[in-house]
């Protein structure tokens, strides 16, 4: 259990045009579950591996419990890693896999066996202790990988997309198990994933990354309710937030033919940013006879509990809009009117993409 | 969901396509290829088969103008072979083969490791240098080697053969072991690293068990090459260190009949290698094709 | 593969390990003299070990199997044998003796090497040893053999067995077809007889066609000599396209092509031996030592049915070749007396008696000593071919092999070091001519080029 601090940490591959991780600042608290999320190539895995010691820290530093880790080899960092492909030793049994690190530390056989059994109990692996990895299912292997990390009782857990090789159903159940486990063990965990659902459900705080740069580091709620820029806004939330180009006018924001009226506070904060990107989540757009926007429906996804209407603004056929609706929904091809909940408008400067206002 | 038609399509009631059309063609194709495979196999194996058959004939039988496949077998040739003092030669061959193979493995494994999992700038050049040593025919080097051995008083010395065979097999072993090392997933090494294993233990506990079939295949290949090696053996050894191939060739007589006895001696000489190959054939096939698949 | 710029230094080998490794390596290097696993695991015996390099023919194999008797007589000497086929043995022995390697104490050479090597000073003079060995009776050796193995009057190697060439034929087939074989046939007569036999569906005559200076060139050379041809004139101008040589080679080639064995271009001694002893050929012109194969009932179907005639000639002069496997001691030998003890045992009269008694009289090494043919059992056994063997050997003239004067010695070879190469190259041309892939004139003109190249080096 320890604090982890990324302090301007940079990693650049030789010959690359831009750094893989560019001056990352992440103050992680003791016992916190931090998720790093972003599209491929955003640098999240690299950042994780910098912490684990598998990538060089070219500039800045990473501190664990206040101690600078630059130049410190992995084995001295007291970090346990769960790999995406589990990296189990194929010639060793589950028990030997889990006990390997302890063996390297010189811990005697009985103590090793005890700790392995404990971890096995936690992960429901007791009956598999004598099996080899090739005789295990994907989910069981994943648990062994976790067990291997747990047994070490390290300061930090690093997890590199550990769920991505599981089938959808297993993913959901394992997700909750991991979160529960972390809460129980209270070990600082840095978790990398490309799946924003995992990020939102598991993390205490989430770091959204893009092209090596940190976009926003906040709790899932904050990310959802107050995304710091257009990228975060469109990355977090499924289906994605609707985004329109808008122009600031005296009394509102012009979206094509329509005029949206945000609160006067919001309008005031938007002063000075004439071109805006207006964001509104599908659940804050509703089918309404008296709505401001006209939408031509392209297709409807009926999910049982509710439905999502995909369409475009009538006067801008190239635009996209998603509207949440209920069981009773329009048909494809219809033209409907929708209203916008102006209390949930997100405004972003069209040039910088940064959030405008609160 | 759209409701489906209830009527059964007409095609389902027709003759199943198993014996006609594409599937039948595939079956007859595989039969043809099977026959071709057998024919080719027999053609390649035939000389060996003939050698074994001949070893059970008398000399007169072995030289008949129209070769006989049916004959009354005799063990007299084998008796002659075993009473002609072949055991010292077998001991020499075994010693040279085993010791040189052990040396090769001990040297090639760390070398291959360095060239695969810890590559340096000059890796490609080093690899090319290794394989280039096999491009020179042995005959071109025999004179300087002979003279050097003579001046160092290393002629007719089993250790000279050990050194020569080690040098001869090392490039092959490095190349083979390297391809096996490349099969080891990089993540495993990282996991071992994170688990606190120093390099030596990573190699011994993690990597070696994975490349073990590769090691077996490499060892077997080296054994085969060393066991069968003739040119160095005949030139460098005389009486003390002569190996089985040299012993074999002593059965060839310029004036006289020798086919049957030679066949018996040759069969005995190839037996150890064939046996080793038979025992390790699964490892061998796996090891030799492992690298080729990726 | 993860990119990894290693911050740690590569593992440095510990000092101790390095020193241990070098010490081990040095120990290996000092392993020194001849070491086989025998020595490694059991330690050598006491006494003198001598290394004997011989050719793996049956008569030599017999000597190896009887060598325990030698050790009984000489308990302090232990011979180790290196037995290889002719080509490999020759290569190994030549490599050792010419580089003064000292690997061997006794070497089996022939009347090809002895004159050259004794002149080079590579061999020990055996005459003093012979003189000091009572009862050895070097005069018992056939005089022609003694002549070719001597240098300046002293013997530098002693014969183990000798041979010339003669014509072997099936008496029963000749009788069946009413053919009389003259005692000294000409090649023309042989041609006619072969034609007759051939018309009855058998192979008329077996003659070597296999390339090699000791294979097809041996009989071919005797034919060339007999037709009056020669390889070089006294000024070392090559004569291979002369009319005599062309005539000789053409006749040989056409005889083999018309009435010879199938597969002649690849037929060497063993192939002809097989064919003839299986009863498929009526005549065979080859070494006198072939009797060991064709007269051995265990391997030959025609044992006892054979007649023997002098080697066929063209001009009436005896044309048989002269060859002997002999034993010599390289100058570098450290145990010359022990080596001589072995050699004298293996070439002595008593050895011949021992071989006959213990292994059978057909195993007696032929054509070396007069006295062999006086032993009653062997005289009886060899009555059909023995006298002719001796006469053929005695009739050879190694010093003046050709009708016209020549600058070289040797009947079926030229006693020059280049002959192994030259002879093999020329013999390949002849083999191609027999196969029909070359005409005789073109084969000869190519051979002439080879010979000219060699002759040039001698002209300087």
Q: What is the 3-state secondary structure (H, E, C) of A96-107?
A: HHHHHHHHHHCC
Distance CA(A51)–CA(A9), nearest Å, equals 10
Q: In terms of domains, do B266 and B132 share one?
A: yes
The CATH number that applies at residue A64 is 3.40.50.300
Report d(CA B84, CA B154) in Å as an integer.
27
Same domain, A190 and A259: no
Q: Please check whether residues C186 and C299 belong to one and the same domain.
A: yes
Q: Look at residue C106 and tell me whether its pLDDT is greater than 90.
A: yes
Sign of the alpha-carbon dihedral angle for B91, B96, B97, B102? positive
**pLDDT (tens digit, 9 = 90+) per residue, A81-105?**
999 999 999 989 999 999 999 998 8
Q: How far apart are CA C148 and CA C115, in angstroms?
A: 7
- Element holding C84 (H helix, E strand): strand C77-84
B1 within domain boundaries: no
Residues C15-36: tens digit of each pLDDT:
565 665 665 555 554 444 456 6
Identify the pLDDT of residue A327.
81
- Domain count of the fold of chain A: 2
- CA–CA dist A264, A104 (Å, integer): 65
Does residue A356 fall inside a structural domain? no
Q: Do B196 and A91 touch (CB under 8 A)?
A: no
Can you tell me whether residue B16 is helix, strand or coil? coil
Closest-approach residue (CA) in chain A for C8: A73
The runs of H, that is alpha helices, within A152-277 are 168-185, 196-202, 220-225, 230-235, 264-269
CATH classification of the domain holding C292: 3.40.190.10
Q: Residue B5 falls within a domain, yes or no?
A: no
Q: Where are the alpha helices (DSSP H) in C202-268?
A: 217-226, 243-259
Q: Which domain holds residue B67?
A: 13-77
Contacting chains of C (3 CB pairs or more, <8 Å) are: A, B
* Mean pLDDT, residues C104-114: 94
Same domain for A252 and A134: no
Residues of A in contact with C2 (CB under 8 A): 49, 54-55
Instruction: For residue C281, give every residue at least 6 positions away whose Cβ sits within 8 Å of its Cβ, in sequence order, or none.
Output: C170, C202, C203, C204, C205, C206, C261, C272, C275
Name which of C36, C105, C278 to mutate to probe chain B: the one with the most chain B Cβ atoms within 10 A of its Cβ.
Answer: C36
Instruction: Give me the pLDDT at residue B1, please.
Output: 42
- Answer yes or no: do C134 and C73 share one domain: yes
A310 in the same domain as A209: no
List the CATH number of the domain containing B102.
Answer: 1.10.3720.10
Same structural domain, B46 and B144: no
Which domain range does residue A133 map to?
A: 4-233
Encode pLDDT of C186-210 as tens digits. 999 999 999 999 998 889 999 999 9
A54·C3 Cβ contact <8 A: no
Do C278 and C183 share a structural domain? yes
Q: Which of A75, A80, A99 to mutate to test the interface with B (most CBs of B within 10 A)?
A: A75
Residue A54: list chain B partners with CB under 8 A: 190, 193-194
- Tell me, yes or no, if B204 comes closer than 8 A to chain A by beta carbon: no
**How many domains is chain B partitioned into structurally?**
2
Q: How many residues does chain B have?
A: 294
Q: State whether C135 and C176 are in the same domain.
A: no
Which of A54, A88, A100 is the closest to B190 by Cβ? A54
Domain membership flag for residue B252: yes
Query: Whole-prediction pTM value?
Result: 0.76
Chosen from B250, B252, B261, B265 to mutate, greatest number of chain C CBs within 10 A: B250
**Do residues A311 and A353 lie in contact, with contact meaning Cβ atoms separated by under 8 Å?**
no
Pairing of strands A275-280, A242-248: antiparallel
Would you say residue B3 lies in a domain?
no
Measured CA to CA, the distance from residue A99 to residue A111 in angstroms comes to 10
Q: Is residue C40 part of a domain?
A: no
**Same domain flag for C69 and C123:** yes
> Could you tell me if A158 and A270 lie in one domain?
no
Residue ranges with strand state E in A314-357 = 316-325, 335-340, 346-349
pLDDT in tens, chain B (294 residues): 444 444 444 444 455 555 566 777 777 788 999 999 999 999 999 999 999 999 998 877 787 767 778 888 889 889 988 888 889 999 999 999 999 999 999 999 988 888 887 777 888 888 899 889 889 998 899 989 999 998 898 888 899 999 999 999 999 999 889 988 888 888 898 999 889 888 888 888 888 888 888 888 899 999 999 999 999 999 888 888 899 999 988 888 766 678 888 999 999 999 988 898 888 887 777 766 655 443
Q: How many CB atoms lie within 10 A of CB A238?
A: 11
Angle at C401 between CA C400 and CA C403, to 5 degrees: 90
**How far does the CA of residue C24 sit from the closest CA of chain B (Å)?**
13
Average pLDDT, chain C: 88
| Residue C7 to residue A71, Cβ atoms within 8 A | yes
Same-domain check for residues A218 and A84: yes
Cβ–Cβ below 8 Å for B195 and A90: no
Same-domain pairing of B196 and B259: yes
CA distance A288 to chain B (A): 29
pLDDT of residue C214: 87
Q: What is the distance, to the nearest Å, from the Cα of residue C62 to the centroid of all Cα atoms in its chain?
A: 17
Q: Give yes or no: residues B69 and B132 share one domain.
A: no
Say if residue A170 is in the same domain as residue A27: yes
pLDDT at B294: 37
Same domain, residue pair B120 and B57: no
Query: How far does B126 lie from chain C, in Å, by closest CA?
Result: 18
- Which of A233, A254, A280 lies at the terminal end of a domain, its last residue? A233
Of B29, B48, B77, the position where a domain reaches its end is B77
Specify the higher pLDDT residue, B114 or C231. C231
- CATH code, domain with A322: 2.40.50.140
Instruction: Give the minimum alpha-carbon distance from B225 to chain C in angstroms, rounded to a whole number.
Output: 20
Count chain A–chain C contacts defined by CB atoms under 8 A: 11
Instruction: Establish if A51 belongs to a structural domain.
Output: yes
Which member of B185, B193, B209 has the closest CB to residue A74? B193
Sheet holding C323-328, edge to edge: C77-84, C48-55, C106-110, C323-328, C158-163
CA closest to A85 among chain B residues: B187
Residues B203 and B253 in one domain: yes
Question: How many Å apart are CA A65 and CA C380, to the nearest integer?
Answer: 109
Q: How far is A199 from chain B (nearest CA, A)?
A: 24
Could you tell me if residue A355 is inside a domain?
Answer: no
**A301: phi then psi, degrees, rounded to nearest 5:** -100, 115
Residues 6 or more apart whose CB falls under 8 angstroms from that of C207 comprise C216, C219, C252, C255, C256, C260, C261, C264, C272, C284, C285, C286
Strand arrangement of the beta sheet that strand A59-64 belongs to: A21-28, A4-11, A59-64, A67-68
Domain assignment present for residue A357? The answer is: no
Residue A332 has, within 13 A of its CA and on its CB side, a CA count of: 6
A332 shares a domain with A270? yes
What is the per-residue pLDDT across C407-435, written as a single tens digit (0 to 9) for each? Answer: 999 999 999 999 988 999 999 999 999 99
Half-sphere exposure (CA, 13 Å, Cβ side) for C438? 21
- Both C312 and C421 in a single domain? yes
Looking at the structure, tell me whether residues C278 and C337 fall in a common domain: no
End-of-domain residue from the set A215, A233, A251: A233
Last residue of a domain, one of B46, B62, B77: B77
pLDDT higher than threshold 50 for residue C4: no
Report yes or no: C4 at the A interface, CB cutoff 8 Å.
yes
Whether residues A89 and B190 touch (CB distance < 8 A) is answered with: no
Interface predicted TM-score (ipTM) of this complex, two decimals: 0.80
Identify the residue among A104, A156, A190 best suited for mutation to test binding to B, counting B beta carbons within 10 A and taking the highest. Answer: A104
Burial class (CB in 10 A: 0-12, 13-18, 19+), A331: exposed
Closest of A43, A62, A83, A46 to residue A3, by C-alpha: A62
Residue C394 counted as domain residue: no
For B16, B21, B28, B38, the CA distances from B31, given in Å and listed in that order, are 21, 16, 5, 11
Pair B95, B203 in one domain: yes
Task: Give a yes or no: residue B2 inside a domain.
Answer: no
> Pick from B252, A248, B180: which is nearest to C87 by CA?
B252
Residue C387: inside a domain: no
Tell me the β-bridge partners of C327.
C108, C158
Residue by residue, pLDDT tens for chain A (358 residues) are: 589 999 999 999 988 889 999 999 999 999 999 999 999 889 999 999 999 999 989 999 999 998 998 888 888 899 999 999 999 999 899 999 999 999 988 889 999 999 999 989 988 888 989 999 999 998 899 999 999 999 988 999 999 999 988 888 888 888 988 998 888 889 999 999 998 888 999 989 999 999 999 999 999 999 999 999 999 999 998 889 999 888 888 888 888 778 888 888 888 888 888 888 989 999 998 888 888 788 889 999 988 888 999 998 888 888 888 988 888 888 888 898 888 888 888 999 988 889 987 7
Residues A104 and A140 in one domain: yes
- Chain C (243-272) residues lying within 8 Å, Cβ to Cβ, of chain B: 269-270
**Number of domains into which chain C is organized:** 2
Residues C327 and C198 in one domain: no
**Residue B50 and residue B172 in one domain:** no
Residues C374, C344, single domain; the answer is: yes
Based on the domain organization, do A148 and A296 belong to the same domain? no
Task: Show residues of chain A in contact with B206, CB under 8 Å.
Answer: 89, 91
> Does residue A312 form part of some domain?
yes
Same structural domain, B165 and B122: yes
Pairwise CB contact (< 8 Å): A83 & B191: yes
Is residue C395 domain-resident? no
Nearest to B187 among A74, A75, A87 (CB): A87
Is C110 in contact with C97 (CB distance < 8 Å)? no
Cβ contact, residue pair C7, A13, below 8 Å: no
Q: Does the CB of C103 have a partner CB in chain B at under 8 Å?
A: yes
Contact A73 C8 (CB under 8 A): yes
Please tell me whether residues A167 and A247 are part of one structural domain: no
Cross-strand partners of A9: A24
> With the C-alpha atoms ordered C72, C77, C82, C83, is the resulting torsion angle positive or negative?
negative
Residue appearing with tokens 């929904």: A329
In a domain? residue C397: no
- Taking the Cβ of residue C8 and every Cβ of chain A, the question of whether any pair is shorter than 8 Å is answered with yes
Whether residue A358 is contained in a domain is answered as no
Look at residue B62 and give its three-state secondary structure: helix
User: How confident is the model over C233-251, as pLDDT tens digits?
Assistant: 999 999 999 999 999 999 9
Please judge whether B193 and A91 are an interchain contact, meaning their C-beta atoms are less than 8 angstroms apart: no
Do B56 and B202 fall into the same domain?
no
- Closest approach of chain B CAs to the CA of C264, in angstroms? 14
Does residue C131 share a domain with residue C53?
yes
Is A14 near chain B, with CB under 8 Å?
no
Interchain pair A73, C2: CB under 8 A: no
CA distance C240 to C231: 6
- The per-residue pLDDT for range C273-305, each reduced to its tens digit, is 888 988 889 999 999 988 888 888 877 889 889
Both tokens assigned to C35: 């070491």
Residue C417 lies in a domain: yes
Domain match, C179 and C203 both: yes
Q: Which domain holds residue C332?
A: 45-156+323-381
Of B39, B60, B77, which residue constitutes the final position of a domain?
B77
> Taking Cα atoms as reference points, which of B241, B230, B235, B219 lies closest to residue B96?
B241
Q: Which two tokens stand for residue A332?
A: 């494809």
Same domain, B58 and B150: no
Whether A129 and A247 share a structural domain: no
* Confidence category of residue C40, pLDDT binned at 50, 70, 90: low
Whether residues C37 and B250 touch (CB distance < 8 A) is answered with no
B147 and B284 belong to one structural domain: yes
The alpha carbon of residue B6 is apart from the nearest alpha carbon of chain C, in Å, by 56
Are both A73 and A209 inside the same structural domain?
A: yes
* Whether residue C152 sits in one domain with residue C170: no
Q: Which of A233, A253, A284 is the last residue of a domain?
A: A233
Residue C6 covered by a domain: no
**Token pair recorded at residue B251:** 């059965």
Predicted pLDDT of residue C37? 65
- Is the torsion defined by CA of C377, C378, C384, C387 positive or negative? negative
């Amino acid at each position: 259990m320890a604090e982890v601090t990324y302090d301007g940490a940079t990693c650049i591959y030789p010959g690359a045009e831009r750094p893989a991780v560019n001056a990352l600042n992440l103050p992680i608290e003791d016992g916190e579950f931090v998720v790093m999320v972003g599209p491929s190539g955003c640098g999240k895995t690299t950042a994780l591996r910098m912490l684990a010691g598998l990538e060089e820290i070219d500039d800045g530093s990473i501190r664990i419990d206040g101690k600078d880790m630059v130049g410190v080899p992995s084995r001295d960092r007291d970090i346990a890693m769960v790999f995406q492909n589990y990296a189990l030793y194929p010639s060793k049994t589950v028990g030997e896999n889990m006990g390997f690190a302890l063996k390297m530390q010189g811990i005697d056989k009985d103590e090793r066996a005890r700790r392995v059994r404990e971890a096995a109990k936690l992960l429901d692996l007791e009956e598999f202790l004598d099996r080899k990895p090739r005789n295990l299912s994907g989910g069981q292997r994943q648990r062994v990988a976790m067990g291997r990390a747990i047994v070490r009782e390290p300061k930090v857990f690093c997890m590199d997309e550990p769920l991505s090789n599981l089938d959808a159903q297993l993913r959901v159940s394992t997700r909750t198990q991991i979160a529960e486990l972390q809460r129980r063990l209270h070990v600082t965990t840095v978790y990398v994933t490309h799946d924003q659902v995992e990020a939102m459900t598991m993390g205490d705080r989430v770091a959204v990354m893009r092209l090596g740069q940190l976009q926003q580091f906040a709790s899932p709620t904050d990310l959802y309710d107050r995304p710091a820029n257009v990228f975060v806004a469109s990355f977090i939330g499924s289906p994605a937030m609707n985004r329109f180009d808008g122009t600031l006018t005296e009394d509102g924001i012009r979206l094509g033919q329509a005029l949206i009226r945000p609160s006067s506070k919001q309008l005031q904060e938007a002063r000075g940013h004439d071109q805006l990107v207006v964001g509104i989540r599908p659940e804050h757009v509703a089918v309404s006879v008296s709505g401001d926007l006209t939408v031509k429906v392209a297709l409807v996804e009926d999910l049982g509990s509710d439905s999502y209407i995909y369409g475009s603004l009538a006067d801008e056929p190239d635009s996209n809009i998603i509207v949440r609706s209920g069981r009773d929904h329009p048909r494809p091809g219809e033209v409907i009117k929708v209203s916008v909940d102006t209390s949930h408008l997100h405004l972003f400067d069209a040039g910088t993409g940064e959030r405008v206002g609160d | 969901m759209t409701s489906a038609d209830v009527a059964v399509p007409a095609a389902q009631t027709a003759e199943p396509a198993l014996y006609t059309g594409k599937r039948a063609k595939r079956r007859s194709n595989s039969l043809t290829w099977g026959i071709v495979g057998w024919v080719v196999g027999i053609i390649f194996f035939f000389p060996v088969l003939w050698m074994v058959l001949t070893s059970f004939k008398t000399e007169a039988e072995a030289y008949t103008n129209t070769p006989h496949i049916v004959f009354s077998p005799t063990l007299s040739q084998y008796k002659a072979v075993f009473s002609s003092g072949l055991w010292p030669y077998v001991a020499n061959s075994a010693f040279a083969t085993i010791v040189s193979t052990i040396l090769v493995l001990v040297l090639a494994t760390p070398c291959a490791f360095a060239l695969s999992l810890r590559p340096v700038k000059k890796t490609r050049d080093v690899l090319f240098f290794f394989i280039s040593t096999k491009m020179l025919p042995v005959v071109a080097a025999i004179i300087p080697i002979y003279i050097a051995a003579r001046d160092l008083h290393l002629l007719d010395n089993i250790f000279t053969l050990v050194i020569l065979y080690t040098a001869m097999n090392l490039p092959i072993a490095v190349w083979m072991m390297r391809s096996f090392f490349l099969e080891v997933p990089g993540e495993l090494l990282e996991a071992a690293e994170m688990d606190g294993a120093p390099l030596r233990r990573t190699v011994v506990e993690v990597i070696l068990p994975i490349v073990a079939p590769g090691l077996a295949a490499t060892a077997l290949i080296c054994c085969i090459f060393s066991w069968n090696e003739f040119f160095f053996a005949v030139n460098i050894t005389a009486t003390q260190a002569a190996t089985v191939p040299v012993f074999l060739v002593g059965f060839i007589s310029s004036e006289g009949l020798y086919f049957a006895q030679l066949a018996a001696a040759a069969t005995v000489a190839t037996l150890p290698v064939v046996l080793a190959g038979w025992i390790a054939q699964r490892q061998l096939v796996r090891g030799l094709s492992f690298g080729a698949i990726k | 593969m993860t990119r990894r710029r290693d911050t740690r230094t590569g593992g440095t080998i510990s000092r101790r390990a390095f020193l241990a490794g070098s010490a081990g390596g040095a120990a290996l290097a000092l392993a020194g003299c001849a070491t086989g696993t025998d020595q490694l695991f059991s330690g050598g015996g006491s006494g003198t070990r001598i290394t004997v390099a011989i050719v793996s023919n049956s008569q030599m194999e017999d000597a190896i199997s009887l060598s325990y008797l030698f050790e009984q007589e000489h308990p302090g000497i232990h011979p180790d044998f290196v037995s290889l086929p002719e080509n490999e043995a020759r290569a190994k022995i030549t490599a050792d003796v010419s580089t003064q390697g000292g690997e061997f104490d006794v070497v089996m050479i022939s009347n090809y090497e002895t004159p050259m090597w004794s002149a080079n000073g590579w061999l020990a003079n055996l005459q003093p040893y012979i003189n000091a060995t009572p009862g050895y009776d070097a005069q018992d050796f056939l005089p022609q053999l003694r002549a070719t193995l001597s240098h300046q009057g002293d013997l530098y190697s002693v014969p183990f067995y000798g041979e010339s060439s003669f014509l072997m034929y099936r008496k029963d087939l000749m009788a069946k077809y009413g053919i009389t074989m003259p005692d000294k046939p000409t090649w023309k007569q042989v041609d006619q007889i072969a034609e007759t036999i051939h018309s009855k569906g058998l192979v008329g005559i077996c003659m070597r066609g296999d390339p090699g200076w000791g294979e097809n060139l041996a009989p071919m050379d005797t034919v060339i000599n007999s037709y009056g041809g020669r390889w070089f004139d006294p000024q070392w101008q090559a004569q291979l396209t002369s009319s005599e040589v062309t005539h000789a080679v053409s006749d040989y080639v056409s005889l083999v092509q018309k009435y010879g064995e199938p597969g002649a271009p690849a037929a060497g001694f063993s192939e002809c031996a097989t064919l003839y002893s299986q009863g498929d050929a009526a005549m065979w012109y080859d070494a006198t030592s072939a009797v060991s194969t064709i007269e051995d009932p265990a391997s030959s179907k025609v044992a006892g049915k054979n007649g023997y005639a002098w080697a066929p000639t063209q001009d009436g002069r005896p044309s048989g070749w002269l060859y002997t496997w002999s034993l010599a001691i390289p100058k570098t030998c450290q145990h010359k007396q022990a080596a001589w003890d072995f050699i004298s045992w293996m070439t002595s009269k008593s050895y011949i008696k021992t071989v006959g008694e213990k292994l059978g009289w057909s195993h007696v090494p032929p054509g070396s000593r007069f006295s062999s043919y006086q032993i009653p059992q062997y005289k009886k056994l060899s009555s059909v071919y023995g006298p002719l063997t001796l006469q053929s050997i005695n009739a050879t003239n190694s010093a003046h092999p050709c009708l016209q004067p020549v600058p070289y010695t040797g009947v079926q070879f030229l006693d020059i070091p280049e002959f192994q190469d030259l002879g093999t190259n020329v013999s390949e041309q002849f083999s191609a001519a027999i196969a029909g892939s070359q005409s005789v004139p073109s084969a000869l003109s190519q051979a002439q080029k080879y010979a000219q190249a060699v002759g040039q080096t001698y002209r300087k």
